[in-house]
């Protein structure tokens, strides 16, 4: 794992942006795996700047998002469909037919999972997957205990994840209890993976990722087996590494 430590979230976002732009410039029809949550917000801002100021072209790029809440309509302001349009897609020249996100309102959700996994086969896997890490070590919405060989599936969100994400909703009750997520195996199919983690909130997860034995209790630790992972982490998120186990 290649580790880049940055002084803050801004520098982290610029580095992640640089890697994505490099990917798109080397292969204009790249498939990008994209994430939601607060982690990638700065990166998306930098990508929009790059589109406006450096002429980065997304015309032939395709995107595959990691996950979506079950029960939220694509136009619900809390859905990841809405998030992606609001924070990236509406601001760059990507073709909306090239952007893919699981449908959390599908009538047959099991079929939706199978179809999404097939889609990853058909258009993917991502040349580059951007990934955040949950405070409990989740990637996508793969909660602790998810098998490393899992494909796209329905997951029940941990209470701690719902609480962590409640800040985006009016109240905790509004946070869905389930999601469709690419599985850990699906994520590991990506050719390159860029993991971003910022702030003290992520310090325990980053310490566990870098210091503990890989285990299904820590979904992000599956990344240790992947050949091409870059972890971009700011000083706050890295600060517990090298100080022994926290009490
Ligand atoms: C969310 C998303 C993940 C994200 C993670 C971290 O629940 N499903 O894809 O990486 O949790 O969230 P944040 O970046 O807001 O800390």
Q: 99-130 pLDDT, tens per residue?
A: 999 999 999 999 999 999 999 999 989 999 99
37 CA → ligand 1 middle, Å: 4
Q: Is the CB of 141 under 6 A from ligand 1?
A: yes
Please identify every stretch of the chain with a pLDDT value under 70, giving residue numbers as ranges.
244-247
Choose the residue to mutate in 165, 167, 199, 232 for probing ligand 1, maximizing ligand atoms within 8 Å of C-beta. Answer: 165
- What local confidence, expressed as pLDDT, does residue 244 receive? 65
Ligand 1, pocket-test mutation among 33, 34, 38, 39, most atoms within 8 A of CB: 39
> Which residues have a catalytic role annotated?
67, 136, 138, 143
- Give me the long-range contacts of 16-22 (CB less than 8 A, separation at least 24): 16/40, 16/42, 16/43, 16/46, 16/130, 16/194, 16/196, 16/232, 17/43, 17/46, 17/47, 17/49, 17/50, 19/128, 19/194, 19/230, 20/47, 20/128, 20/130, 20/194, 21/47, 21/50, 21/54, 21/56
The encoded tokens of residue 89 equal 């897609």
Span 44-68, pLDDT tens digits: 999 999 999 999 999 999 999 999 9
Nearest to 185 by CA among 132, 136, 117: 117
Task: Point out the ligand 1 atom lying closest to the alpha carbon of residue 36.
Answer: 9
User: Is 36 a pocket residue for ligand 1 (Cβ < 6 Å)?
Assistant: yes
Residue 211 has a pLDDT of 96
241: burial class by Cβ within 10 Å (0-12, 13-18, 19+)?
A: middle
pLDDT of residue 243: 80
Burial zone of 110 (CB within 10 Å; 0-12 exposed, 13-18 middle, 19+ buried): exposed
Instruction: Please give the pLDDT value at position 225.
Output: 85
Residue nearest to atom 11 of ligand 1 (CA): 134
User: Which residues lie below 8 Å from residue 77, measured CB to CB, with a gap of 6+?
Assistant: none
131 CA to middle of ligand 1, Å?
8
Atom of ligand 1 nearest to the CA of 80: 8
pLDDT for the residue numbered 247: 47
What are the CB-based long-range contacts (under 8 Å, 24+) for 49-52? 49/17, 50/17, 50/21, 51/91, 51/92, 51/93
């Amino acid at each position: 794992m290649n580790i880049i430590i940055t002084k803050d979230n801004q520098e982290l976002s610029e580095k992640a942006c640089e890697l994505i732009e490099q990917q798109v410039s080397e292969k204009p029809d790249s498939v990008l795996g994209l994430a939601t949550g607060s982690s990638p917000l700065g990166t998306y801002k930098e990508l929009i700047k790059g589109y406006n100021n450096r002429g980065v072209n997304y015309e032939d790029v395709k995107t595959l998002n990691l996950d979506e809440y079950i029960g939220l309509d694509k136009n619900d302001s809390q859905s990841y469909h809405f998030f992606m349009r609001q924070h990236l897609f509406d601001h760059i020249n990507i073709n909306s037919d090239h952007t893919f996100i699981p449908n959390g309102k599908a009538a047959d959700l099991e079929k939706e999972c199978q179809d999404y996994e097939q889609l990853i086969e058909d258009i993917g896997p991502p040349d580059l997957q951007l990934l955040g890490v949950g405070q409990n070590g989740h990637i996508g919405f793969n909660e602790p205990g998810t098998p490393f060989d899992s494909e796209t599936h329905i997951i029940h969100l941990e209470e701690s994840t719902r609480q962590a994400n409640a800040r985006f909703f009016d109240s905790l009750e509004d946070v869905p209890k389930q999601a469709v997520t690419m599985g850990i195996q699906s994520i590991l199919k990506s050719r390159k993976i860029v993991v971003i983690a910022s702030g003290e909130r992520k310090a325990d997860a980053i310490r566990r990722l870098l210091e503990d034995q890989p285990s299904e209790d820590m979904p992000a630790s599956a990344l240790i087996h992947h050949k091409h992972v870059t972890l971009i982490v700011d000083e706050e998120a890295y600060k517990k590494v090298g100080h022994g186990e926290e009490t």
